[in-house]
A and B are shown apart, each in its own frame.
Chain A
């Protein structure tokens, strides 16, 4: 194709301009792609992790924080509640299933959750190898945690106080009795042990003084969840929160920032298109003689039109390709550097159909930017231009 050769020649003729336009387009597409991957993946992860949990009840404090700590295992808990209170809720006739959990310890950044058998039922989790814990200081490991920590049934490990990496070490040894089958949800990243282990490592309180961090509840009907939430929030000192509501609230908080970023991405792509437009227009002005000569050598109007349009499209396509790659690299780098990003399930290694829309938008912008200069090239008066002084 003659037009393709001309596009390549134009790029070789002005490599700096071409590189600048391509990079601008790449920057816009990269921001849009990273934003898309971030929101889609974290949204999916939060929806997935909260599946089957209609209500969380915990100590007084921010409901958002309670959900982030007890369901998504991202934030620190708000405090503890009395085990008796937790048991009273579990006994409510509207409750289908309830699991009291105890948080606070971790192994090299992976969280230990104290919970009874109801917790596995709530998360629909079953051991892939070994069995579920039955006695204090036995633990079953989620699929991801087991792989990353290299723990297998029969191994033992120390828990550390606190939820970050490298807290004070407890003296007691946990024994691994099983590894859970991967569920693609938060339980893959948890280490689960009976609540008694948590009490034992924290000074073995008397029967009446026993506490839990929160209760996860599945109600029989959605209406029951609303009613129970209302009762707990008005009638007790505890806080009840519904994970979908809190996730939505989180997204409305993050959403404002995401909207700003989206606007920024659109601005970048628009600026890239504008600079392509300006570049092609000045090319048309400065190289009008070239275009006329090209026609005089026998190129058709359609060829010169295609050469300019193709230049805009090729810049956009190259920029979009680089941008998609950069967006994925950015998300993957973020996921590897931050454990919070990992908890949100971010990965640069999977693509999303929405990227197709971003690429189409970039190509459309490039095409639009090149259209007017291309029409100008189509219309060049060859005889007139060739008889003008250079």
Chain B
């Protein structure tokens, strides 16, 4: 469950996000839309505990993450949150399996080979297990990034523009995957996108405006 109230974030001295109130039920599929520069990525970073808001409170599963000290926030993120980022999706110096194993170890779970093959198989990329990220196609890298984000069984799955680089069929498939995986690990899903093709797939929607 996500509960936001009176959230204000500024970057470089300018206010970039102003969100009076937003709630997402546990297990819901939420979509954040808005034009470029409206603060979608900023909101996801705040939810992931990577950015500290200037004002307001952000609770995830009842934990006020803004109040946590940095190491505690790191640990919270490792154990409970999976993120698929807009550009940087995988560790370049590790293989696909290496990325998954690292995510598991950071979440203090054993790097269980069966679990990793299982997740890769479900995303149909088992054959790419020992490949380096730079040798993957955009769609393959995206699926590998989803695998990396969900392998440790997060309670909250965040995805930033997961369909921006994909054609219709692949965009559809990526959203299907995210929804299915979130449901499989019983996680809340928040997707940030300005891709109109995927709007009707979400029950909860938040539309951000560009702040002046």
Contacts of B122-137 to chain A: CB distance below 8 A: none
- The stretch of B23-31, B83-91, B170-178, B180-188 in contact with A is B83-91
A302 to chain B, nearest CB (A): 8
A335 to chain B, nearest CB (A): 44
User: Residues of A contacting B148 with CB < 8 Å?
Assistant: 297
Contact present for A296 and B50 (CB under 8 Å): yes
Contact present for B107 and A289 (CB under 8 Å): no
Contact present for B74 and A298 (CB under 8 Å): yes
- The stretch of B57-65, B98-106, B199-207 in contact with A is B98-106
User: Assuming A298-B75, A301-B70, is B50 touching A386 (CB within 8 A)?
Assistant: yes
A390 vs B90: C-alpha distance when bound (angstroms)? 12
A292 vs B77: C-alpha distance when bound (angstroms)? 13
Contact present for A386 and B88 (CB under 8 Å): yes
User: Residues of B contacting A123 with CB < 8 Å?
Assistant: none
A206 to chain B, nearest CB (A): 88
User: Residues of A contacting B105 with CB < 8 Å?
Assistant: 2, 5
Q: Does A290 sit within 8 A of B, measured CB to CB?
A: yes
User: Residues of A contacting B75 with CB < 8 Å?
Assistant: 298, 300
User: Residues of B contacting A297 with CB < 8 Å?
Assistant: 77-78, 102-103, 106, 148
Q: Does B94 sit within 8 A of A, measured CB to CB?
A: yes
Q: Does B41 sit within 8 A of A, measured CB to CB?
A: yes
A115 vs B70: C-alpha distance when bound (angstroms)? 83
Closest to A1 in B: B105
User: Assuming A296-B48, A299-B74, is B88 touching A385 (CB within 8 A)?
Assistant: yes
Contacts of A346-390 to chain B: CB distance below 8 A: 382-383, 385-390
User: Residues of B contacting A389 with CB < 8 Å?
Assistant: 87
Closest to B90 in A: A293
User: Assuming A287-B93, A298-B78, is B98 touching A9 (CB within 8 A)?
Assistant: yes
Q: Does A10 sit within 8 A of B, measured CB to CB?
A: yes
Q: Does A294 sit within 8 A of B, measured CB to CB?
A: yes
B116 to chain A, nearest CB (A): 15
Contact present for B91 and A386 (CB under 8 Å): no
Contact present for A296 and B77 (CB under 8 Å): yes
Additional A-B contacts beyond A293-B85, A296-B77 (14; CB < 8 A): A9-B93, A9-B98, A13-B94, A289-B88, A290-B88, A290-B93, A296-B48, A298-B106, A298-B107, A300-B75, A383-B42, A385-B88, A389-B87, A390-B87
Q: A-side interface residues toward B, CB under 8 Å?
A: 2, 5-6, 9-10, 13, 287, 289-290, 292-302, 382-383, 385-390
Q: B-side interface residues toward A, CB under 8 Å?
A: 41-42, 45, 48, 50-51, 70-71, 74-79, 83, 85-94, 98, 102-103, 105-107, 148
Among all A-B residue pairs, the 4 with the closest Cβ atoms: A298-B78, A13-B93, A298-B106, A289-B88
7 A-B pairs, CB-CB below 8 angstroms? Answer: A2-B105, A297-B103, A301-B70, A383-B51, A386-B50, A386-B88, A387-B86
